[in-house]
Amino acid sequence: MNEKPLIGITPDYSYEKRRFKISEDYTFAVIQAGGIPILLVPGEAFPDFIDGLIFSGGGDINPLLFGEEPIWENGEISPLRDEYELALCKEALKTDIPILGICRGMQIMNIAAGGGIYQDIAAQTGTTLKHSQQAPRPCGTHSITPTEGSLLARLWQKEKIIVNSVHHQAVSFLGAGMTAAAQSPDGLTEAIEAADKPFVLGVQWHPEAMRTKEQEALFAHFVQAAMCYRERRRMP
């Protein structure tokens, strides 16, 4: 009998190639942390066989889904993915299943909770901090500050961490039940969490691509939370 937690991961979708796709970094990070990765594709039923859920990175989200018209800088969208992930996240947030949202995945979490995002950071915030790096993805390019008392602050025990940054959208206002868990130097939200849940965390960077002890600890903590969820579900 398998005793490792099953971690569902939502893949990206290419309309042009009619293919689902995912970076191997996600699966390697889950395996290294002690979990078993499973790709989740659009379906009718909530995948109640999984013990943890990762919303992966990818393209932009349709602004109409969070009450806005698209601006010029908004990029390519995937209606199939948007519809599936938002429905999946809304259902998941009603449970205690551990959730980790990465980049786009953090934005999906916030929108599912009723929050909003900036369609383009440069156009809508005026920040001069570079959020879309021109460096290899494993390399960190700017700092973040975990919020005091947040999961990340407790996990890392550090005032600042260097992260990678490959996005042009960001959380504008928080959804219901979400709190800011980290900020970048320009004040943008770099992580969100639901403090009333065992593990609901969204991060704007890509921890799966960074081979640092902090990001490995993040995945280890997530997979451990999934293991605890698995054990709770088995209790009579």
Q: Where in the sequence numbering do the catalytic residues fall?
A: 103, 206, 208
Q: Do the bridges between strand 6-10 and strand 12-14 make them parallel or antiparallel, or are there none, so unpaired?
A: unpaired
Q: Do the bridges between strand 36-39 and strand 6-10 make them parallel or antiparallel, or are there none, so unpaired?
A: parallel
Residue found by looking up tokens 């290419």 in the block: 14
CA distance 202 to 211: 19
Enclosing H/E stretch for 215: helix 213-234
169, 119 Cβ separation under 8 angstroms: yes
59, 79 Cβ separation under 8 angstroms: no
Question: Residue 37 forms beta bridges with which residues?
Answer: 7
